């Protein structure tokens, strides 16, 4: 039995068409079902629903053989594990090209970010992505105090909690609606297929075709 870890919402919704193109369908709708384990049209493949940030952990420890996860979540997980580019022992065969966005630095429209950087001021930055943010500002030689948040990052500069945020942007509508402007791009993001290396060895015959079918399906959508 192969287990595929997905998170509800964007990742599930955008992975579904890829699965479909690979001849795989999930037999229950996570928005209406309360089940956390969903059967598919293949008796040897099931989907488990986990929090987006738990996908790497499930795959790393073999709770799932493979999973779909945003590069943001994957890199933050790796950095927390101290695996520089090592993907915490996760095999990362495919950029699925879905759930695309970018991780960016944003500030209030009236905050002069370039001036603050030029003057070498300590900038207070609120983010869910503490590791990625720390790395980014260290690379740029920008002095920051990082404040960890779990959501609604956009609120931080508006309330004076922080000068800047590091958050995901896709259309930019959320920033605009909150009078924030993007001042720096940290990294381009898309969802990745991650695979447990032990599964790849032990389940190679069932796993390999699934990986290849998803890779082919994602090339079709690129
Ligand atoms: O919600 P939960 O805490 O369970 O997990 P999650 O927030 O990590 O899950 P989810 O489903 O929101 O996001 C899953 C993955 O989708 C992320 O890890 C990203 O890789 C990817 N993704 C792509 C995005 C976006 N686009 C995106 N726009 N994730 C979040 N957003 C948010 C962003 O944080 C901001 O609040 O959408 C808002 C900005 O959108 P625009 O279009 O207004 O710019
Ligand atoms: Mg979310």
pLDDT computed for residue 93 by the predictor:
85
> In 3D, which of 159, 156, 136, 138 has the Cα closest to residue 147?
156
User: Hey, whose CA ends up nearest to atom 8 of ligand 1?
Assistant: 52
Q: Which of 71-80, 161-170, 193-202 has the lowest mean pLDDT?
A: 71-80
Q: How many domains does the chain contain in total?
A: 2
Q: What is the domain range of residue 135? A: 101-189
Compute the average pLDDT of residues 161-169: 98
Residues 96-123, mean pLDDT to the nearest whole number: 98
Count CB-CB contacts under 10 A for residue 159.
Answer: 8
Residue 205 Cα to ligand 2 middle (Å): 35
- 96 and 6 within one domain: yes
Same domain? 59 vs 128: no
pLDDT at 31 over 80: yes
Tokens representing 100 are 């695309």
Give me the pLDDT at residue 88, please: 65
| 90 vs 133: which has the higher pLDDT | 133
Residues 8 and 93 in one domain: yes
Looking at the fold, whether 137 and 167 belong to one and the same domain comes out as: yes
* Residue 100 DSSP class: -
The per-residue pLDDT for 53 is 96
Give the nearest ligand 1 atom to 10 CA: 11
Phi, psi for 114 (deg, rounded to 5): -55, -40
Strand pairing report for 144-148 and 123-127: parallel
Contact 167, 103 (CB under 8 A): yes
Asked if 94 and 107 sit in the same domain, the reply is no
Instruction: Verify that 6 and 51 share a domain, yes or no.
Output: yes
Same domain, 89 and 124: no
Q: Are residues 85 and 194 in the same domain?
A: yes
**What letter would DSSP give residue 122?**
P
Is the domain of 72 the same as that of 113?
Answer: no
Beta carbons within 8 Å of 45's beta carbon, 6+ residues apart: 1, 2, 3, 4, 24, 210
The answer on 118 and 52 residing in a single domain is: no
Are 217 and 148 found together in one domain? no
- Site to probe by mutation for ligand 1, drawn from 9, 97, 101, 186 as the one with most ligand atoms within 8 Å of Cβ, is 101
Strand 101-108 and strand 164-169: the pairing is antiparallel
Mean pLDDT of the chain: 95
- We report the CATH number of the domain holding residue 115 as 3.40.190.10
The reply to whether 146 and 208 lie within a common domain is no
Cβ-in-10-Å burial (0-12, 13-18, 19+) of 43 comes to: exposed
Residue of 5, 8, 10, 51 with the most ligand 1 atoms within 8 Å of its CB, for mutation = 10
The label of the residue with tokens 């959320």 reads 174
C-alpha 111 to ligand 1 mean position (Å): 25
Q: Using the atom order of ligand 1, give the atom closest to the CA of residue 100.
A: 23
CB 126 within 8 A of CB 153: yes
């Amino acid at each position: 039995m192969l287990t595929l870890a997905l998170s509800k919402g964007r990742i599930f919704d955008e992975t579904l068409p890829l699965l479909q193109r690979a001849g795989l369908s999930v037999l229950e709708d996570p928005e209406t079902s309360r089940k956390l384990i969903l059967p598919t049209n293949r008796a040897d493949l099931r989907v488990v629903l986990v929090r987006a940030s738990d996908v790497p952990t499930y795959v790393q420890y073999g709770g799932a053989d493979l999973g779909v996860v945003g590069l943001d979540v994957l890199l933050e997980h790796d950095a927390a594990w101290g695996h520089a580019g090592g993907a915490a022992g996760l095999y990362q065969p495919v950029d699925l090209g879905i759930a695309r966005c970018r991780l960016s630095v944003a500030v209030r429209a009236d905050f002069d970010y370039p001036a603050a950087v030029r003057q070498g001021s300590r900038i207070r930055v609120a983010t869910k992505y503490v590791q990625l943010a720390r790395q980014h500002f260290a690379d740029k030689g920008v002095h920051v105090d990082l404040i960890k948040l779990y959501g609604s990052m956009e609120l931080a500069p508006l309330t004076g909690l922080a000068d800047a945020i590091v958050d995901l942007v896709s259309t930019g509508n959320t920033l605009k609606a909150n009078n924030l402007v993007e001042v720096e791009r940290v990294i381009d993001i898309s969802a990745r297929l991650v695979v447990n290396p032990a599964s790849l060895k032990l389940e190679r015959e069932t796993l390999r075709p699934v990986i290849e079918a998803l890779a082919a399906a994602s090339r079709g959508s690129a």
